[in-house]
Structure formats: C-alpha cells, structure tokens
A and B are shown apart, each in its own frame.
Chain A
Amino acid sequence: MELAYLEEVRKLLHGRDYHVVGTDVKRVDAVEKVAGLAKYSADYLIEKAVHVKAARSPHAHALVKKVDRESALRVPGVVEVLTADDVPGENQIGYLVEDQPIITNKARYCGDIVALIVARKERAAWEGADRLQVEYEPLAEVFDPRESLQSSLRIHDHGNIAAEAKIRKGNVDEAFRRCEVIIERTYRTGSQDHAYLEPEAAVAIPTGARGVTVIGTNQNPFRTRHTVARVLGWKDSEVTITTPYIGGGFGGKDTYGPVICSLAALAAVKSGRPAMIVYTRYESFAYRFKRGPFEIKYKTGATQDGKLQAIDIEYLVDAGGYATWTVGFTKRAAYHATGVYSVDNVRVEGRAVYTNNLPNAAFNGFGNPQMLFAVESQMDIMAGALKMDPVEFRVKNALVPGSRTGTNQLLDHAVGIQELIQKVAVQADWQGKRKEYALAQEGNKRRGIGVGCSWHGCGTTGFKRDWAGASVIINPDGSVSYSTGIVEIGQGTTTSHAMMVAEVLGIPFEHVRVDVNNTGTMPDSGETHAQRGTIIVGTAAVDAALKLRKRMNRLASEMWECSEEEVAFEKGETYNLRNRSQRISFSELAYEMYMRGIPPAEYGFIKARRGYPDPETGQGDTYAAYTFGCTMAEVEVDLETGQVDVLRLVPGVAAGKIIQPAVARGQVIGCGMLGLGYALTERVQRRDGRMMNPSYTDYQIPTIKDKPEMADLVIVEDEFKYSGFGAKGVGEIAFIATPLAIANALDQALGIRFYDMPLDREKIYFAIKEKKGHGSRS
C-alpha cells in the first residue's frame, strides 16, 4: 500500500470522470438474492450427509473425567462419538492466544463442546447428544472479571489475564495539574448478540485420500482453512474452504467460522462421509460468542479555554472462557481511547480477564462502541462543566489534518471529522433543537437531542499482519474474471471491487465477473472485518488492474507508436488520445495479448499501510486510515413508563470516496438500527454464565416499526491517498455513534446521565422516579 493509488488511478484515467465508481450498479449478488436462488451454507442438502451435533458441558467450569461413548453409540443411527482424544491434528483453534481446543477436556464456559455426535439422521444426532453420559468434576466458577483478577482460581494455566493494552503518550500527571476542569467517571457496557438471521452452519465433504472441502458460514476463508488444517493435522493446501452466501456476519461469523467449519471437517474426515452441522437458533444465542463487556474508568482534563489536555483510562474486559478475538478489541479500544479528538497526554491501561462466561466474538465496532460510550459521555459532561455547547466543544478539539492520534500516528490527510460534525449539526438543526429542548417541557413526555462522534481505524487490529490479495484475469473475449478472498456478508464489497477493476480497465461493470469464493482458486485476502474490505483489499484489486493496464498501455503504444501515457481506456474501447482514429476494442486488445504471449492475468498483493505499535506505549501507526462518523439523535421519553422513542436519527460519515452510494446508505442505516437495538431493545441477560433469553422472543432486535425517521445521509468524501479511488471503510462506523447519541440525547431530555449501556428501560424508569422524588427502587 505504498503507492499513492488515488493519484495513480487519476493519472491513468487522464482525470476523466468516473463512469462506474460512485454510481449505483446492480450488485453482483442482487438477482440471486431477490430471486431466491442464493444458497447459504445450510441450503447445501447433500443426501447421504451425516448430521453432527455438539454435546456440551452444562457446567461453566469443570474437568471432563469420562465420556461414555457407548451411551450414545447405542442409539440407532449414531456412527461416531468424537472426543478431544479423537482430534487427529492439534486440538487448538486459538487466535492470538493459543488457549482454545476445538473439543475440550476442561469446560471453561457453559456450553463448551465436550464431544461431537455424528449420526445418519438428524433425529439420531439429537438423541445421541441427549443420551451421552459424561462424568464431570465441577470446579469453582467465577463470572466477574474483577473477582477473577483477584482470585487464585485458574481457568487457564497461564493465569487469568487474557490480554493487555497500554498507551503512554506525553506526561499525563503534569498535564492534569494544568487542567481547570477534570471529570472522572466509571462506565459499563454490556454484551450484545449478533442475532443475524442465518444460524451457523457448515457442510464438509471429504475429497480423495487426503482432502476436505468445507462449505460453511465464515468471514475469513483462509484463517478458517488454516484452523481446519491444523485440527486435522494437514497442510493448508489439503483443505478447501468455499464460502457461499452468508446470512449476516457482523463479526460473529469471523470469530465462529473456524469453529463451525472445524467441527464439520472433523466429523467428515473421521466418518469418511459428507457431514453437516447446523446450529439451532437456541445454540446460536446460548453458545455462540458475543460482544465483550467492558468496565471503563475514564478521567478527562481540560483547560478553561476548552482544550482537552489529558486523559487517563483504566478498563477491564470480561474475556470469558477463551481469549478468541478479545485480544484484538482490547487493543482497538485503547488505540481509539481519545475519541476523535486531539489529546497530547494519554495514559491507558486495559486488561481482559478470563471468567467462566461465554467467550467474546468480533462484533461491529470491536471495542469502539464500548470505549466511545465513555468518551462521548465524558465529552458531554466536560462541555457542561465548561459551559460550552457539546458540538462546539467537540469541533474545537476535533482531529484535523496534521493532528496526531493517541498512538502518536500522524494524520496528514483524510481527516474529515470537523467538517462532518458541522454538516451533521446543520442537517439535524442542532442549534435550534438543542435550544428548544433546553426550555422547560410540560406533560408526560420529554425531548432531547444528543450527539455521538466515532472513529474506526480500517484494518485488522492486534495482529502484525494485514495482507490482501486480489486476482484479475482478462479472458480472451475481453470479459474479466475477478477473484478475492473477501466474503459477501451483505455489505456488497465484492461488487465495489468489480466496479473499481472495471473503472481502471475502462470496461462496463457487467463485464467483470466475481468468481466463487474458494480458497483453492482465490488469493488470500485476510479477514472480512475491521472495515478493510474496500480500503485494503479493494486496493489490491486496483493494484492488479493497474499492473494489467500498464501492460496493455504498452501494447497499445507499440501498436500505435505513441507514448504509453497517451493511451486511454473508456467504455470498452481503447484509443490514442492524440489520434482518436487509432482505436481498438478492449476485447480485441485482450485477444492480442494472448496472441503475443503477454500475461493477461495479474495478482494484486499488498500489506496494509500501518505498523505494529510498541506493546508498552502503544505508540505507532496503528491503522492505514480512519473512518469518522457523527450521528445526532432526537429522542422523546415517556416519563411514566421509561419508554424511549427515537424520533429522528441524523447520521453522517467521512469514509473517503464512496464507491456505491446506495449501498453505503444501506450500511449506515442498517448500522444505525443495530445501534438503536443495542441501546434500547436488546439485552443479553445472563445468570451464572448462562444466557436466560436465548430466543428471538426474548432477545428483541428492532422491527420495521422501531425504525425512526432517518435524515438524508451526510457524507464527507475525505479521500485517502493510498487506497484505490480514495475509499476508506464504511461497514461499522455508523453503528458506533448511534447508542452514544441516544444516551446524550437522554441526558438532555431527562437531566439524568446513564453510565451503563444498554440503556435499560427499567433503569431509566426508576431513575426518573427517583429524580421525581417518588422514592428509590426497592
């Protein structure tokens, strides 16, 4: 990602307007989806497939003493019972910390898989799992991270800390001494379930003497492949992951993909038959990993002129039984801990602690929704103490080109946050509404308007690696076959890639076909997460297309005896800018390449433009670029019931060049609803490590009637120089800001600040009641 791709492409296109990028096209997956032809993992109904069911520990912490296979094998139709001893390769699927077996001998959360039942029919698998006798030795359990920190109880031999994150910048103590206003508060954020409509599923088919193909729900085919290979004791090349359509991911299938695919692969290889595992909605709710809970102590200091001087943060993350992706988001939270503001003195200490709760997964926002809840609440409180308008205070401190982040990364361009906040404020009529709602309100309803600002670094956190590959093959007839490891989870990224390739090659979008997602034939593009699909992997696509263009330009220049720079590609035609009668169709030129033995295919492979920060100070270039978001929310609270009605959401994003406007809009609105759900209607209710509401009946995601009025999307196209077409990412940013804006709006409406997210209705109701003087909650 060293090239200034934005400029490279502009030069190549001779500064012309884009014909494809920035327009709305028919997505590559559109027809299949509206025709009902799109197949998802559980739709691959292979007739003689065996069915796999996980047998799970009912204890949150226990040793598995004995698994009585016979008790299940006796059930007619059960063909295999697989335990930890049956894992042929390494019994290890951990991500950044190698602490997680695929089938365990020690249960570390309620639901930890202790055996796999493999049966000829689905009902037999159920019965086998019911009848399996397992002898446990229950151990002491711990569900509170603070308790776990102080406890001598060991969930893992290597201690109770799963991850740490530190930031040290400037001199925090000295800076606080200068501050006239200092605010310190503690914030708590709860879990959230992805609740995607498609439950986890995988079908594995043994191929030949040593090979398996897995069709399964995942967001990271190559990591999944490596995990499956590891578990089987095979090479990466002996496993094929082919990813079908995914019915919603949001990060959940990023974390869980390798798990579900490994379970299917194990069963297939051991039984020699195609094997299918499909989670029930109950399993998906009760046992699949979710957003990680945080407790954040946040101290902010500013001088009287309204300039932020220092922040000092300590936070604790409940990692659950295994580290999984908690390591990544514990770090991301630290890197983003300043919020979208310039702060010169930063101290952050973050720790993730093992407990016997469910492990965590990646989930839209990945540590940012948690940390920024604290940040944006603090900003409002600080503004109040400084007697400044909350938006004015934010604008005054916002990052600008030339600012350095909390990790001391220089942002020299693509920093559109200040302009964004101001534009959203106009769209939302912030000044007017803020003033209106500040006046005394009558009756049983109270209104308020609030703001939330967010940022999200584009690219994988926590790992040293962030590579991306893309393959562009020009066929002899001029059509293009495009291949990437990015997974289509609904976000339309592969369409964006095809559009960018079409633009660079100057051909109609419809001539680029995105090939099937198959690890055997496509380049490793890393994970589909962290808003990296367009900015990083898309750049690999542009990289490949640029290389091909250079070759084609040279060929044309040889044919026409002009300079390479004078060759233009547009709408399927290639011509000499100086002499337009010299022209050839793209397809003819493609055929000419073949005839002359000029390679018609190219591989784009880049690594993200970032470093790996110092583990002690967190200083370093943590992400290639940052997307910024700002949402303003208007709410109305029913004082008698505590019900919060979101009247209007005004979202805005600064995500660089927008490749597909309608798709970006869909992302922003969809993320907005996800945020509204997190704030107001969804609650993961846990007791002793068990989810008490594992169904759509009791885990309430927003319906169409919960959708507020959505203002027209505010877009600031702060293009990023080093990505293809200047795009950044847009897949998570609009989620993060929404709950923050709602919480701040509530504060104006009620004069009550809530330090917990979700904004639990009964908490709101009883707080109102207490404030009115009707006694506190018994």
Chain B
Amino acid sequence: MEAEVRPLPKMEYRAPSSLGEALALLKDWQGQARLLAGGTDLIPKIKKRAVAADLLIDVNRISGLSGIELGKDGLQIGGLARLAEIEASPLVREKAPALTQALQIMACPPIRNRATIAGNLCTASPAADTAPPLLVLNASVRLQGSGGERMVPLAEFFLGPAETVKRPDEILTAVIIPLEEGRSGFLKLGRRKAFTLSIASAAAFAKTRGGRIEEVRVALGAVAPTPIRGRKVEETLKGKEANEANIAQAAEWIRSEVKPISDVRASAEYRRDMSYVLTRRVLGKVA
C-alpha cells in the first residue's frame, strides 16, 4: 500500500558546479548521498521515506551535461537534458521519433520541465516510458565515476525494479543513440487519457526494404521487472514480409516473454493481453 507523503527529513545540500566535484562528493558520502537532478521521482520518494539521503547533491548547476547533438557515435543526449527539451528537439524527432512520441505522452509539462533523462533511467521504474524507445534504438549510456567512465548498452542497464548496474559513485552523463535507417514508434496504455502511468507500453523499430522486414526490434514497459526486449517476436518477424498477418503472428510470442504482475493499476492477465495488442499495433506503425 502507498506510503504517506510527509515533510522532508533534515538533510544536507550541496550544489557542485562541476562533474568532478559531484563525483568527489558521491565518493566521500559512500551511498549516503543522492543525486538531485529533476527531483520529480526523488523528492516524492524521500517524502514517503522509500528512499533516504543524508546529502542531496544538486547536479543542476553542472554545465555541459544537457546538450542534444549529433556526434560520431550517433545522437548524443546529455544525461541532465530535461525531458521537455528532448521532446521539443527537432533532431530527436528526426533521429529517434519513438523517444519523442514517448515524451509527448509522459507525465505532463511541469514535470517534464524538470525531469531529466538520466533521472528517468536511473530511477528504473519498470514502467519508465523512455526505456522502451531507447531499447529499440539500441541506446547506450555513459556512466562516469571517480575511477573513470564506461559505456553500458541500455539492454544491460536494468537489473530490476529501481535497480540498475550504475554504482552509487557513478553519474549517468549521456545517452547515445546510434544512427540507423528505419522507423520507430511508441504506444502506451494508461488508465485515463493523459498524465498517467503506463499499464503497458511498447516501442518498435523496423527497417523494411521492398516490403520485407530487414531489421526489427520491439521493447515493452510495465510488464516485467524491467523494460524488456521481445526477442522471440523479433526473431519470428525478421526477414518476413511486412503484413498484418505476419506481424500478428510474431506478436503472439510476446505473451510468453513478459512477466507482468497484478497491482492496483492492472491485473497480470490484462497486462499480458495488452502486451500482445500493443506489440502488434506498434509494429504495424513502423513495419
């Protein structure tokens, strides 16, 4: 059951102006510190005592981590880029439309004006709407710690609800989306028409040539402990002709790939059925 929102507990607060400073603080405070980026997930969690922090490290004053640009590795989105900025970016709309579509129907403008892509990914809710699009786009994330930096494919990033491979002393500083020819799209099912958590969500990427599906990827959210790829769906569909029957047949496989739970928002059975419907529909959008 939901916990009650209470006044924030006494905490300390620092606002470093450089990444190095932030990393040093993280290291010093050894897991007792939390990174404050958008705060849209963290602050409610601390109010509900689901998360504790002796120190809040406000990373909003660090410059250079919020750009959206094309680099040699592809589309680079700074970890601290606001969801609203990413949504409004013509570059993202062109190169990663599934991500734009997800952001358009995620939360609401006042939340998106503060929430960051790093925050959404690191909070690692199984229902995070940015994850399925980034998964089908083969995104990777850059993690920087005081010991150095590493790139992690997003497909390996999530471990479970609220659990990722990011270490307590690391900061997610960028999301890299390799450029690839093809189409991507996103769909979500909520309990009302806006400002609602996904009961199930699906993103897909496909490249078709001459009516044949050369490459296809599909990812689902809110139907497993982490956002997942539908690999059996992909294997079945790859190489086939892009038509309704083939898509429907391939989408059936998603039923055995998801591991939904029943909670206050939806039943496992409904989520499983909706996984099929959304998978089929989102594939129909891109293939």
**Interface, chain A (partner B; CB < 8 A):** 122-123, 126, 280-283, 286, 640-641, 643, 681, 685, 690, 692-695, 697-698, 700, 702-706, 761-762, 765-766, 769, 777-778
Contact = CB atoms under 8 A, between A and B. Distances in A.
A776 B191 CA distance: 23
B267 interface: yes
B194 A705 contact: yes
B273 A765 contact: yes
A681 B191 contact: yes
A283 B194 contact: no
Contact of A123 (B1, B7, B195): B7
B264 interface: yes
Interface in B169-191: 189, 191
A280 B47 CA distance: 12
A762 B2 contact: no
B265 interface: yes
Given A126-B7, A286-B4, 17 more contacts: A122-B7, A123-B7, A282-B5, A641-B189, A641-B274, A681-B191, A681-B192, A697-B197, A698-B265, A700-B191, A703-B193, A705-B192, A705-B194, A762-B266, A762-B267, A769-B273, A778-B269
A777 B269 contact: yes
Contacts of B274: 641
Nearest 4 CB-CB pairings of A with B: A705-B194, A282-B4, A705-B193, A681-B192
B29 interface: no
B264 A692 contact: yes
Given A641-B277, A765-B270, A703 B194 contact: yes
Interface in B32-61: none
Contacts of B195: 703, 705
B181 to A, nearest CB: 31
B63 interface: no
Given A700-B196, A706-B193, A706-B194, A693 B277 contact: no
B1 A692 contact: yes
Contacts of A762: 266-267, 270
Given A122-B7, A640-B277, A702 B192 contact: yes
B96 to A, nearest CB: 24
Contacts of B72: none
Interface in B1-39: 1-2, 4-7
Nearest to B281: A640
B197 to A, nearest CB: 7
A765 B2 CA distance: 27
Contacts of B277: 640-641
Contacts of B264: 685, 692-693, 698
B273 A281 contact: no
A282 B193 contact: no
Interface in B188-246: 189, 191-197
B5 A700 contact: no
A119 B197 CA distance: 37
Contacts of A640: 277
Nearest to B193: A705
B270 A280 contact: no
B192 A706 contact: yes
B2 A693 contact: yes
Contacts of B270: 762, 765-766
A700 B7 contact: no
Q: Is the interface of B mostly helix, strand, loop or mixed?
A: loop
B146 to A, nearest CB: 35
Contacts of A697: 2, 197
A765 B191 CA distance: 13
Nearest to A282: B4
A700 B192 contact: yes
Contacts of B267: 762
Contact of B2 (A695, A700, A703, A704): A695
Contacts of A685: 264
A777 B195 CA distance: 29
B7 A282 contact: no
How many interface residues does chain B have, given as a range? 20 to 34
A761 B189 CA distance: 12
Contacts of B1: 690, 692, 694
Contacts of A695: 2
Nearest to B6: A126
B7 A698 contact: no
A210 B149 CA distance: 71
Contacts of A702: 192
Contacts of A761: 191
A356 B138 CA distance: 53
A285 to B, nearest CB: 9
Contacts of A122: 7
10 contacts: A281-B5, A681-B192, A692-B1, A694-B2, A695-B2, A697-B2, A698-B265, A700-B191, A705-B193, A769-B273
A641 B267 CA distance: 13
B161 to A, nearest CB: 16
Nearest to A691: B1
Nearest to B200: A641
Contacts of B5: 280-282
A695 B44 CA distance: 12
Nearest to B10: A123
Contacts of A706: 192-194
Given A765-B273, A778-B269, A703 B4 contact: no
A598 B150 CA distance: 91
Contacts of A698: 2, 264-265
B245 to A, nearest CB: 16
Contacts of B189: 641, 643
B47 to A, nearest CB: 10
A761 B199 CA distance: 12
A703 B6 CA distance: 26
A762 B274 CA distance: 11
A704 B194 contact: yes
Task: Pick from B192, B193, B197 the residue with the most CB of A within 10 Å.
Answer: B192
Given A641-B277, A685-B264, A777-B269, A283 B4 contact: yes
Contacts of B265: 698
A662 to B, nearest CB: 26
A343 to B, nearest CB: 38
Interface string B243-277: 00000000000000000000011110110011001
Contacts of B266: 762
A742 to B, nearest CB: 14
Contacts of B193: 703, 705-706
A283 B6 CA distance: 11
A761 B190 CA distance: 11
B222 to A, nearest CB: 14
A282 B264 CA distance: 16
Nearest to B276: A640
Contacts of A126: 6-7
A87 to B, nearest CB: 26
B259 to A, nearest CB: 17
Nearest to A687: B1
A771 B249 CA distance: 22
Interface in B55-108: none
Contacts of A693: 2, 264
A766 B270 CA distance: 8
Contacts of A700: 191-192, 196
A640 B281 CA distance: 11
Interface string B138-150: 0000000000000
Nearest to A761: B191
Contacts of B197: 697
Contacts of A703: 192-195
A775 to B, nearest CB: 11
A640 B191 CA distance: 15
Contacts of A681: 191-192
A681 B191 CA distance: 6
Nearest to A126: B6
A141 to B, nearest CB: 17
A694 B5 CA distance: 11
A195 to B, nearest CB: 13
Interface string B99-133: 00000000000000000000000000000000000
